[in-house]
Amino acid sequence: MARIDTDLSSTQVQEEFSGSAGHAKPGSVLLRELVAHLRERRTQLREEWARRITEAQLLTAMTKDEIFAEATSVYDNYVEALETGTFEALQAYARNLSERVIPRGVETHEVVGIVLLLRDVLARSLFAKYQTDFTKLNRILDAYEPAANRIANTVAVGFVQERERIIREQQEAIRELSTPVLQVRERLLILPIIGVIDPQRARQLTEQLLRGIRTNRAKVVVIDITGVAAMDATVANHLVQTVEASRLLGATVIVTGLSPEIAQTIVNIGVDLGKMNTVGDLQGGIEQAERLLGYKVVPLAESS
């Protein structure tokens, strides 16, 4: 923003102007004046802000009362951050707010949007107040802008971090769900795998299976990958390692449901197929497992 520096010889200007970075030290006269103004006009500015939020169709997931209540908290935290120059309380508030609104479906652009709107509303009120003293307005803005930018940044980053945390949690939950280890007979486990396996999921799968073998004292495991469309060489290697590690625990692994693409990948990476016990489909795999365990399944005699 272009600034017209007039009257630079004035001693008051020398005192208050703190370099091109423009970050006024907390407790400086200008900053106190700014904060006082914001506190004095609290009611009107909050209402204007809430009005502009609704006008911009932000926070549609929330009621007018909820918006006003949150607006009040944000406003007060905002002013306090301006006053103290410390942002920890604001960061904590931003996280807390995010935790509450994300499940309601509030998006990042909405949160960033409302903070920027507040910045605008407050800036406009400063323009209005100091419109007769352009020099003073410039100095006030020098105090206001860096702090306001940092606040917007803090809130946005807090929100995004909270979303990332939730996404990680959900990914973890999905992984847990996706690889159940199921006992279908004494000493026989099935591991049906569905979807995409990345190296991390492959590793988690192996750990879960090995623990399952030990807990259930399994002698045979059928790993069914019918539901896996494709697998890269890294993951195919993980699968081979899973088979080998299971053997170290005394369990035989039968892999079933290999798609043509996966069969190709395994041949391409040069796996010693003597190590891999594979059967076409899950049914065949279970039947072979039962034979290995010494079961024989016979139909009950039909009454003639």
Partner 1 sequence: MEVPILKQGDFLIATVQAALTDADLLHFRRALIQQVVRCRSQGVIVDVTSLDVMDSFASRTLREIAQMIRLRGAQTVIVGIQPEVAFAMVQLGLTLENVATALDLEEGLAHLKQKSESTA
Shortest Å, Cβ 247 to partner 1:
6
User: Of the two residues 28 and 216, which places its CB atom closer to partner 1 in the complex?
Assistant: 216
Q: Measured between alpha carbons, how far is 304 from 301 in angstroms, rounded to an integer?
A: 9
Applying CB under 8 A, which of residues 102, 137, 249, 292 lies at the interface with partner 1? 249
Work out the angle at residue 134's Cα, subtended by the Cα atoms of residues 112 and 143, and round it to the nearest 5 degrees: 45
> What's the distance, CA 134 to chain centroid?
45
**Segment contacting partner 1 (CB under 8 A): 22-30, 91-99, 190-198, 248-256?**
248-256
What are the phi and psi torsion angles at 231 (to 5°)? -150, 130
Binding to partner 1 (CB under 8 A): which residues in 125-154? Answer: none
**Segment contacting partner 1 (CB under 8 A): 69-77, 153-161, 247-255, 282-290?**
247-255
Q: Which two tokens stand for residue 110?
A: 């909405």
CB-based burial of residue 276 (10 Å sphere; 0-12 exposed, 13-18 middle, 19+ buried)? Answer: middle
Shortest Å, Cβ 168 to partner 1:
23
Applying CB under 8 A, which of residues 15, 169, 186, 207 lies at the interface with partner 1? 207
Residue 206 contacts partner 1 per CB under 8 A? yes
- Number of chain positions touching partner 1 (CB under 8 A): 18
User: Of the two residues 154 and 277, which places its CB atom closer to partner 1 in the complex?
Assistant: 277
Shortest Å, Cβ 46 to partner 1:
57
Shortest Å, Cβ 214 to partner 1:
6
Residues 6+ apart with CB under 8 A from 155: 74, 90, 94, 111, 112, 115
Which residue has tokens 């410390």?
A: 86
What are the phi and psi torsion angles at 186 (to 5°)? -55, 130
Chain residues in the site for partner 1 (CB under 8 A): 206-207, 210-211, 213-214, 217, 219, 241-242, 244-251
